[in-house]
Chain A
Amino acid sequence: MKLVTAVIKPFKLDDVKDALKAIGVAGITVSEVRGFGRQGGHTETYRGAEYKIDFVPKVSLAVVIADESVDSVVDTIVSSAATGKIGDGKIWVSDVDRLVRIRTGEEGTDAI
């Protein structure tokens, strides 16, 4: 099993969610985060004093899926989250050692 984590632009969340559901992903976890990569921040002024905002609001989503589905999930996220402009985000894939469904106690791929 793999954990696919993607940091994307917040307004693309709906597109990514719909695209993942369309390929049969059963559930995702979403959190609001801040971050920067090459995009960098921007400068605002408040009562005449300038201040740099380094961090940009993003959305982080996490999906746990079977090994065979990884490539299709990653490709789906890439195509639905991309705008072509700087700040589109990143995806990384890591191993999941153990997965449990809390309601039933099922383990492993049965819990996906």
Chain B
Amino acid sequence: MRNKRALRIISGLGGATAILALTASTGFAQEGPDTQAILDNIWVFIAGALVFFMQAGFALVEAGLTRAKNVVNIFAKNLSDALIGVLAFFAVGYAFAFGSVSDSGLEKFIGTKAFFLSGQDLAIPVDGGLSVATVFFFQVVFAATAVTIISGGMAERTKFISYLIISAAMTAFIYPVVVHWTWGGGFIAQLNVGDAVYSDFAGSGVVHMVGGIGALMGAWFLGPRIGKYDENGKPRAIPGHSIPFVLLGVFILWLGWFGFNPGSELAADGTVITVAVNTLIAACAAGVATTITIWLKTGKPDLAMISNGVLAGLVAITAPCGTVNAGMAAIIGAIGGILVVFSVFFFDRIHIDDPVGAVSVHGVCGAWGVLSVGLFARYDDAFLGRENAGLFYGGGFDQLGMQALMILIIGAWVTVTAGALMFILKSTIGLRVAPEEEIEGLDVLEHGIEGYAPDVAYAR
């Protein structure tokens, strides 16, 4: 495996097995892992906790951009996909992603061991690296991120039970396979285009594009919300009920991204902070770019769109954050911020109703992030294995080609599997709630409670 990142993860697992062997045969007391190993594990854990809190961010953004009558439903979906996602990834997802890998046969495409983390020593290896506990914790919150993207694209009209099944399928199978092919050292990690191997530092492709395409499949099979398009097919605005929620959500997601990207260094070193700087700058550049774009296009700086823009920049920088310098991070973010506006308009026009812009922010800008590595890669991010891999640094078209290939493979996989999932659900238990329920609001009819119940006042 040329993939140093996968090596870090697998060495953790290998180290763990070594400890098991040692203790079994000698019974000696162990020296503890060294300070660097402890720092690595603690940092990655903290980063994982920040990523976990992005669940709150996603929930707030989605709730803010949708109507009050559905607020319980959107929060329920966001909570449930975390609950189910963690358990599904624990049960089978982690095993499929990291359990075992090989350069041929079944294990090139999917892991076959460590279901329910069985047989895994969770301790920090004596010779350094991340423990299985750390790897699992960090990876499971990424899985939860990928799946929660989908709830936005399917908002305001999806049967709750169908969404639970989608969450389980995504985190148990569809997402872990993509991880296996990349961070797990499998199929895509073993490909090359000339000198180029794939690079996706923190998951513009592995996480965000997967979620975005899942959201696209969901929105497509669901169809648009009632009233979204008028009798001439022109899109109507369905304004969200709380712009304050949206902004709080954006800030929470942004903070979480300081775990998402820097934590993906999988070590406590200087790169963590340069990655964080790139992340910050890309987000700000994207926000400004979106502000200018939407202001010019509609005559007003629409904050709902600008919020999407900031997130688009964060998604876009997620793949290249380990290989670019800050100036290029700004450009990558800004392009994401412009792209997301046109993408939102585009999907609206082709009658894909995406209430929160999940497909545009995560799908389209995730793909842009992956591609941008091929253009702007400068430093070795431990995936690339070389410097100046980007087209603009004299690296030729190899890296760009490899990144494009990765986008195609992941895109095809998710389109087919998520599409099949949506199709099967639609044909069996149904994807969509009844029209009367959609108009009334999902909260009372799917969940039995109101989100903003008026105060009751009793005299006795």
Which of A44, A45, A47, A49 is packed against the most chain B CB atoms within 10 Å?
A47
Interface: A11 (CB within 8 A): no
Residue count of chain A within 8 Å CB distance of chain B: 8
- Give chain B residues whose Cβ lies under 8 Å from the Cβ of A44: 237
The answer to whether A48 touches B299, judged by C-beta atoms less than 8 angstroms apart, is no
B225 to chain A, nearest CB (A): 12
B226 to chain A, nearest CB (A): 15
Q: Is A95 an interface residue (CB 8 A)?
A: no
> Which residue among B237, B300, B302, B304 has the maximum number of chain A CB atoms within 10 Å of its CB?
B237
Which residues of A have CB within 8 Å of B344? 47-48
Residue B297 CB within 8 A of the other chain: yes
A46 contacts which chain B residues (CB < 8 A)?
237-239, 302, 304
Say yes or no for A51: interface residue by CB 8 A criterion: yes
Report yes or no: B302 in contact with A45, Cβ–Cβ below 8 A. Answer: yes
B348 CB within 8 Å of chain A: yes
**Which residues of B, 217-269, contact A by the 8 Å Cβ criterion?**
235-239
**Which one of A45, A47, A51 lies within 8 Å of B299 (CB-CB)?**
A45
Bound-state CA distance A40–B100 (Å) is: 67
| Cross-chain contact A47 with B236 (CB below 8 angstroms) | no
Q: Does A50 contact B (CB under 8 A)?
A: yes
Within 294-325 of B, Cβ neighbours of A (below 8 Å) are at 294, 297-300, 302, 304-305, 308
Task: Write out the residue numbers on chain B whose beta carbons fall within 8 Å of the beta carbon of A51.
Answer: 236-237, 239
Residues of B within 8 A of A48 (CB): 294, 297-298, 302, 305, 341, 344-345, 348
CA distance A63 to B405 in the complex (A): 74
The smallest C-beta distance from B344 to any residue of chain A, in angstroms, reads: 6
Q: Does B357 contact A (CB under 8 A)?
A: yes
Q: For B239, list chain A residues within 8 Å (CB).
A: 46, 51
Query: Distance (Å) between the CB of B415 and the closest chain A CB?
Result: 25
Interface residues of B in 270-313 (CB under 8 A from A): 294, 297-300, 302, 304-305, 308
B348/A45 in contact, CB under 8 A: no
The residue in B298, B299, B345, B348 that gathers the most chain A C-beta atoms within 10 A of its C-beta is: B298
Residues of A within 8 A of B294 (CB): 48
Assuming A46-B238, A47-B237, A48-B297, what are 12 further A-B pairs, CB within 8 angstroms?
A45-B237, A45-B298, A45-B302, A46-B239, A46-B302, A46-B304, A47-B304, A47-B357, A48-B302, A49-B237, A51-B236, A51-B237
16 A-B pairs within 8 Å (CB atoms) are namely A45-B299, A45-B300, A45-B302, A46-B238, A47-B237, A47-B304, A47-B305, A47-B308, A48-B294, A48-B298, A48-B305, A49-B235, A49-B237, A50-B237, A51-B237, A51-B239
Measured CB to CB, the residues of A under 8 A from B are 44-51
* 8 closest A-B pairs by CB: A46-B237, A51-B237, A49-B237, A45-B298, A49-B235, A46-B239, A48-B345, A47-B305
